[in-house]
Structure 1
Amino acid sequence: MGGSSHGVDVRVLGPLEVAVDGTVLDLGGPQLRALFVALVVADGRAVSVAALVEQLWGEHAPQDADRTVRTYVSRLRRYLRRASDALGAAELIVTQAPGYLLKLDRGVLDAVRFERLAAEGRRALEAGQPGVAAERLVEALDLWRGAAYDEFTDIAALDAEAIRLTNLRHNVLEDRIDANLAAGQGRELVAELEALTAAHPGYERLWGQLMLALYRAGRQADALRTFHRARSLLREESGVEPSPVLTGIQQRILAQDQTLLPRESGSDTGPFEAGEKALLDNGDLRTSRKHFETAYHLAYGAGDADGAARSVLGLSGLWVHEDRSATGTHQMQTRLEQALSAVGAGSPLALRLRVRLAGEADYRANDHSKILALLSEARQADDPVGVAEALSIAHHCVLGPDHGRLRRTLALALIGESSRTGRRADRLMGLLWHTVDLFLGAHPHAERRLEELRRALAEGDFLAVGFVVSALQVMLTIRAGRFDEAEKEAKLCAELGEAAGDPDALGWYGAHLVAIRWFQGRLDELLPLLDQLVHDSSLSTVDNSYFAARAVAAAVAGDDRKAAASLARLVGPGLAELPRSSTWMVTMNGVAEAAYRLRDAETAAQVYELLSPFADLPVMASLAVACFGSTHYALGIAATAMGKPERAVWHLHTAIQHNLALAHWPAVALCEARYAEAMALHPGQ
């Protein structure tokens, strides 16, 4: 059972206990215990004497109830003396208007530790670490010794909290079973799940888990019977049909879908099959490349043109421009072209090769005309795999701010096409692209779509998409202003990206650190790192954001010469000539900030003109992995640098409202500071 710091435990997940170094303290009778719990659930807030009287006696309070409460508090302080000594506090219960406050580190409360462990387990599961997830979730569940606030069922104020914790406990149990399934278990879970479905027949997730466990145990007929049993119970008790999720599991069992089975390390499949499984089932870019490289050489040496073509398509990966080096880029292009010349000109394989070649060329040229033409051709040919690949690649080529509606259309089409390809990778990529699109467009349902994506990932590991989801979570933590937590998450995210073999692992880690330090006002601390990152070969050829970040960091550090030099890298060729890639908005935001700090009115005027059409969008990096708030902020500081205070005031006021809608609290604070500065320049407002 997880202990707390200083050897003090306050336990409410079962009968109330306060323990010091494992010894349970005597808290007195029921009234004293109820008083203590009332202070615990107040979560560090003072509780009035009147509220304590109401909780202890309700309508039957004695005439001297106030004095009795003070007497109870005095007695509780004596009972808690060992705990206060262990924590180095004069008193745990302090007098504070309008009554009393329990001065206690929240970490000593088992319910708080339970929720913390549950969240860690959930994040590990989403990150594709089922072993770590199961460990954290089991540790969380082991904290329970009975029903939450077990002895206080007659206190109405505790009912809602007890119900919330109980529901969360059930969710954690289901998450732990998902972690076990993701780790390859099946037969081992059947007995437990049989008992759980009997106790909770309305919980469809448990039925789905039982069906999967039975199927893995070689009991396909029992798995299908379980579906029919669940459907009958749902109809009888709730009058509803099973959800599409449960029906989908049934259909995959009927089709004997091999992806439902755990991965077998000793399988003797060939390198191409192993590469396909790693890429399309698990999103493991690093492992798939090794297998596809072997498969390519074997097929090429054997004169197997189709096998070589399929292998080089696999080597191309899930994303566009996965190999950022000049050598890798041109070798891949040569392989694709050679494969295309060797296969049948009108074959589906030839069309897929042409789609990939068009996408790679368009991405580097900041264009999308070739890939959209090939998408139209793929739709006419009606090859589901070719259409799905064209949709995903096309989406990657239109990540600039001009194409929000087109991106959403492509993403939704990919989700739909995945039902024809039957490939899990297509469904996850479509869902991921749509999630990203909603964040890039500041859509109020973006986090709802993210939750749907998390549920889809809970069905099994898919490292490439899990890496992006992890990066999105870092972005949201930064928006919430929890910088220390975000920095830890960013490091874990980078490790996940490295494990997946994603080329953006380092670049996104840098983006996270820049966003954190930007809002902390400590960007100058990253100047040595940015000096290296601007020339790192892992960055995309169309990414200029780190030059802008270095310009701002240098300006913050007071090194105006370096700031101006970095800015000149971008302004020299003309800001309008920079590719409108997925990092263009962040680049322009950095240019605006640097121009503001350097009092560069000419550059500020250029960036103002370029950003104005996108004023109502948030400034986000790449696949929405870092957010710098409303574009109106960049326009406001650009207007300030231009000597247009009235315009600056309007933009910054609008930015505050937009950042509030984003729940981006650090951006709100920064905008408010700049707004005050602009108001001082324009006192007539």
Structure 2
Amino acid sequence: MATGDDPPQFRVLGTFEVTRGGRRCTPTAPKQRALLALLALHANEFVPTSRIVDQLWSRDAPRSAVAALHGYVTAVRRVLTPSRVSSRNSHPVLSTRPSGYVLVLEPHQLDLTRFRALAKEGQGAMAAGDCAHAWDRFCAALRLWRGSPLADLRGTGAFDHDIARLEKEYLELLRNRFDVMLCNGDGHLAVFDLEELCQTHPLWEGFHEQLMLALCQAERRADALTAYARAYRLLSNHAGIEPGPRLRSLHQLILNGDDPLDRVHRHERATTGSEPARTASP
């Protein structure tokens, strides 16, 4: 049963949720929920009052915004620690600083912190050639992803930049996981997912490259060439550009009948897998 002493848990990788002792205690008031979500995205960082006001009121704040914010902070503190009485500056979770606030959380209290830590561990394992550990870390990170981040706050428009950044981190993690699958010789298992990603994210050249490699691994070289032609068309239609040098080089290897998955190529991918693939700007 939840008590006021249970540390709150925060989840932003999906609908925004706050729980305590396994029970939901997410604020229902829109501005309070948005305030807490904003501070959770910047856990353990100082967030100026001016930034909070700008984001919560979309830069069209009333004169009473700062006073209203103080009221929201007081209400949110009651939600976070209902049985605790504390001064405005010494609250154990939501602390006041000169001209701003800090949400103080341990790593285990925020899904985003755990997600990023697992992704980093997986990237380190992949760079070290330990594909099994990398796979374990990437899969553990992806299990924390419950859907569109801050899904219930999308309509406010206040979190568009944050949502786009989180979705990019998610796609990078997917790309890393597919690299591990290719390294393990399991590319044939990734073909369907990669085909969908190439359609929904046509400017991510890394996914087109991985799809071509996966098709080659599945002994479908003709389909890999067709995938390149489709990538060329998508990039041209959506951004008015041609495929980058990595994609063109891979295409040429397949045309020449060479093995794009030879040891040298796999080593190159393993040592550069943590770096972002070329992504065209819309």
Task: Settle same-fold status: TM greater than 0.5.
Answer: yes
CA contact (8 A) 2:39 2:47 kept: yes
2:61 corresponds to 1:251? no
Structure 2 match to 1:113 = 114
1:55–1:230: structure 2 CA closer, same or farther, 3 Å change rule?
closer
Superposed CA deviations along residues 469-502 of structure 1, whole A, max 9, x for unmatched, are: 9xxxxxxxxxxxxxxxxxxxxxxxxxxxxxxxxx
Q: Distance in 1 between matches of 2:83 and 2:261?
A: 51
Q: Distance in 2 between matches of 1:142 and 1:189?
A: 17
SS at match of 1:459: helix
Q: Distance in 2 between matches of 1:107 and 1:77?
A: 20
2:189 corresponds to 1:179? no
Structure 1 match to 2:207 = 206
SS at match of 1:260: coil
Q: Distance in 2 between matches of 1:125 and 1:138?
A: 13
Deviation at 1:11, TM superposition (A): 0.9
Superposed CA deviations along residues 512-541 of structure 1, whole A, max 9, x for unmatched, are: xxxxxxxxxxxxxxxxxxxxxxxxxxxxxx
CA contact (8 A) 1:77 1:91 kept: no
CA contact (8 A) 1:186 1:214 kept: yes
1:552-591 matches, cutoff 5 A: none
Q: Which runs of 5+ in 2 are unaligned?
A: 1-5, 273-282
1:80-159 matches, cutoff 5 A: 80-81=80-81, 91-153=92-154, 158-159=159-160
SS at match of 1:18: strand
Deviation at 1:59, TM superposition (A): 2.6
1:209-608 matches, cutoff 5 A: 209-258=210-259, 260=261, 281=263, 424=264, 457=267, 459-460=269-270
Deviation at 1:105, TM superposition (A): 2.6
SS at match of 1:153: helix
Q: Distance in 1 between matches of 2:101 and 2:231?
A: 51
2:16 corresponds to 1:16? yes
1:217–1:32: structure 2 CA closer, same or farther, 3 Å change rule?
same
Q: Distance in 2 between matches of 1:235 and 1:220?
A: 23
Task: Return the TM-score normalized by structure 1.
Answer: 0.35
1:12–1:71: structure 2 CA closer, same or farther, 3 Å change rule?
same
Q: How many residues align?
A: 262
CA contact (8 A) 1:20 1:83 kept: no
Deviation at 1:102, TM superposition (A): 2.0
Q: Which amino acid aligns with 2:174?
A: L
Q: Distance in 2 between matches of 1:130 and 1:246?
A: 24
Deviation at 1:208, TM superposition (A): 1.5
Q: Distance in 2 between matches of 1:105 and 1:458?
A: 37
Q: Distance in 1 between matches of 2:100 and 2:231?
A: 52
Superposed CA deviations along residues 298-349 of structure 1, whole A, max 9, x for unmatched, are: xxxxxxxxxxxxxxxxxxxxxxxxxxxxxxxxxxxxxxxxxxxxxxxxxxxx
Q: Which amino acid aligns with 1:459?
A: R
Greater relative contact order, per chain length (Cα 8 Å cut-off, separation 6+): 2
1:31–1:207: structure 2 CA closer, same or farther, 3 Å change rule?
same
Structure 2 match to 1:72 = 72
Superposed CA deviations along residues 324-377 of structure 1, whole A, max 9, x for unmatched, are: xxxxxxxxxxxxxxxxxxxxxxxxxxxxxxxxxxxxxxxxxxxxxxxxxxxxxx
Q: Distance in 2 between matches of 1:12 and 1:122?
A: 22
Deviation at 1:80, TM superposition (A): 0.9
Superposed CA deviations along residues 371-407 of structure 1, whole A, max 9, x for unmatched, are: xxxxxxxxxxxxxxxxxxxxxxxxxxxxxxxxxxxxx
Taking only the aligned residue pairs, the percentage that are identical comes to 34
CA contact (8 A) 1:13 1:145 kept: yes
Q: Distance in 2 between matches of 1:224 and 1:113?
A: 39
CA contact (8 A) 2:121 2:137 kept: yes
1:39–1:191: structure 2 CA closer, same or farther, 3 Å change rule?
closer
Deviation at 1:36, TM superposition (A): 1.4
CA contact (8 A) 2:121 2:134 kept: yes
1:239–1:197: structure 2 CA closer, same or farther, 3 Å change rule?
same
CA contact (8 A) 2:43 2:102 kept: no
CA contact (8 A) 1:215 1:223 kept: yes
Q: Which runs of 5+ in 1 are unaligned?
A: 1-5, 262-280, 282-423, 429-455, 461-465, 470-685
Q: Distance in 2 between matches of 1:55 and 1:101?
A: 16
CA contact (8 A) 1:13 1:149 kept: yes
CA contact (8 A) 1:44 1:104 kept: yes
CA contact (8 A) 2:56 2:158 kept: no
SS at match of 1:224: helix
Deviation at 1:254, TM superposition (A): 3.2
Q: Distance in 2 between matches of 1:192 and 1:164?
A: 22
Q: Distance in 1 between matches of 2:259 and 2:47?
A: 58
Higher relative helix content? 1
Q: Which amino acid aligns with 2:269?
A: E
Q: Which amino acid aligns with 1:73?
A: V
1:68–1:208: structure 2 CA closer, same or farther, 3 Å change rule?
closer
Structure 1 match to 2:194 = 193
SS at match of 1:249: helix
1:71–1:184: structure 2 CA closer, same or farther, 3 Å change rule?
same
Superposed CA deviations along residues 253-291 of structure 1, whole A, max 9, x for unmatched, are: 234434627xxxxxxxxxxxxxxxxxxx3xxxxxxxxxx
Q: Which amino acid aligns with 2:131?
A: P
Q: Distance in 1 between matches of 2:247 and 2:83?
A: 49
